Structure 1
Amino acid sequence: MTAIHRIVVLDAAPATVQARVACVLQDASGFHVLSARTQAGHDGIGNMACLLEEVLKEARWDRPDLVVVVIGPGSFTGLRTSCSLAAGLAFGYDCPVVGVTRGEALTDALSAYVTQHNLDGWLCVTAARSGRWFVESAAPDSLTSGPVVAVRQADWDAPSGHWLIAGDVIDDVLLKAPISLKAFPIPGEAGMQEIARAGLNRLQGHIAPRPALPLYVDPPEAKLPAAGLRARPQ
């Protein structure tokens, strides 16, 4: 395998709607962010290609060795945009592209904490629309999460045992089961270095394969018109 040093990271998954782009250098001492941009809102998602151009120029890279994209769960528009940009970038530069989930990006830190505190596993719970949460889970020593599910906040019950909670709704989740759940001390999204590390682990086969495609937990909200589609033009 060709040595991987220059990693482009793309993330537009959070339900809060924002775009993050970074150039991450991997060397013998670890992963280092050379340049990064964050822009909030749908304008940020629509501007991801421009943000990418800026970080590549600032890092003085003529090409990446690997593209890593966060595939979800999260914003439908953000996932579609970031995954499309990742695929196009990888095709244009003839380099590999891999996807990681929001939970997988935190796996190294979460698994270490679970092992240290002898917990049953970790849950990454993130905000969804319409009073729901997205829930990822993994057992101790697992580098990849299981299926991601969407649950209604009012109906969700914590699993039996003692679990570590990560994600962007930690405080709300703890109200459901304050005894059996333990909050991860570093709340929020994974850093760009962590996403890059998880992506490289997947490329090298340390994490089970997963396509770099949007992880749609919910079906699209678009529906056919009530009167049906227009007739084909003659």
Structure 2
Amino acid sequence: MSTISRILVLDGSAAGDAACGLAACVSVGSEGAYALIAQQKAAGKQAAEGIGLLAGQALAQAGWQAGAPLQPQLVAVVVGPGSFTGLRASCATAAGYALGLGVPVVGVTRGEALRSVLDTEVKKADGLQGWLLVTAARKGRVFVETVAGVQAVALVDWQPPEGRWLVAGDAATSLPMPAGTVLSESATPTAEQIAAAALARQKGELGPREALPLYVDPPEAKLPAAGLRSAPV
């Protein structure tokens, strides 16, 4: 595998009041240092849905646009948990860029991108069981990610786990937690953190995961009561 030193990062996962779109160009140095070369970020659901525009602007800012001598060697995209529409738009855009460039596309979760810094915070504190990454969802719920996976939780049904935990994420304060809980300042992953997690997965240091939207909830669409229409003749 050739050395990857240029990564296009896309993130449209943030939901609710935190909804935004992020596109960035990240360079990887010979000693594994990650440097932000260009970044475009805009708030609002519409920004996440139009993440292709942000990607084009970031690539132009970095000088990695189509026809330039240097172009991305890997596309990294946050696959969730988060906004249904934002995930579809960002994953589709990532797949399109990867296909056009002829490079791999790698998906990571928010927790995977933040895991290194959260693990470090847990180790520095005394007696913590681990970390919870809490992000906004719809209809009075939040997404809770741990090293074991992701679940959607209704706030009214939330039962805090036993022990003391580090709680991070843009909705960290929305969950009632027992005394001794430690709040992290980490809310959303940076472009460099997303790039690092994606490259780790590309190298086989993280388990496999498709670069497809991570839908935690079952689909809300239902079949018509009368069933589907018969096929045309």
Same fold at TM > 0.5: yes
Unaligned runs of 5+ residues in structure 1 are 138-144
- 1:1-234 counterparts in 2 under 5 A? 1-16=1-16, 17-27=19-29, 28=31, 30-61=33-64, 62=68, 63-118=71-126, 119-137=128-146, 145-173=147-175, 176-184=176-184, 186-234=185-233
Aligned-partner Cα distance in 1 for 2:77–2:168? 20
C-alpha contact (below 8 Å) 2:145/2:151 kept by paired residues: yes
| Residue 226 (structure 1) shift | 4.1
| TM-score normalised per structure 2 | 0.90
Aligned length: 224
When residues 65 and 150 of structure 1 are mapped into structure 2, their CA distance, relative to the original with a 3 A threshold, is same
Task: Note the alpha carbon deviations across 1:60-113, whole angstroms, 9 max, x for none.
Answer: 114211111000001111111111111121122111111111111111100011
The 3-state SS of whatever aligns with 2:132 is strand
Aligned-partner Cα distance in 1 for 2:32–2:10? 22
Alignment root-mean-square deviation, CA? 1.6
C-alpha contact (below 8 Å) 1:100/1:198 kept by paired residues: yes
Aligned-partner Cα distance in 2 for 1:37–1:222? 34
| TM-score normalised per structure 1 | 0.89
C-alpha contact (below 8 Å) 1:99/1:210 kept by paired residues: yes
Identical aligned pairs, as a percentage?
47
Task: Note the alpha carbon deviations across 1:141-185, whole angstroms, 9 max, x for none.
Answer: xxxx22211111121122112211111112222xx224142111x
Letter in 1 for 2:120: A
Aligned-partner Cα distance in 2 for 1:50–1:152? 34
| Residue 124 (structure 1) shift | 0.4
The 3-state SS of whatever aligns with 2:37 is strand
The 3-state SS of whatever aligns with 2:199 is helix
C-alpha contact (below 8 Å) 2:49/2:90 kept by paired residues: no
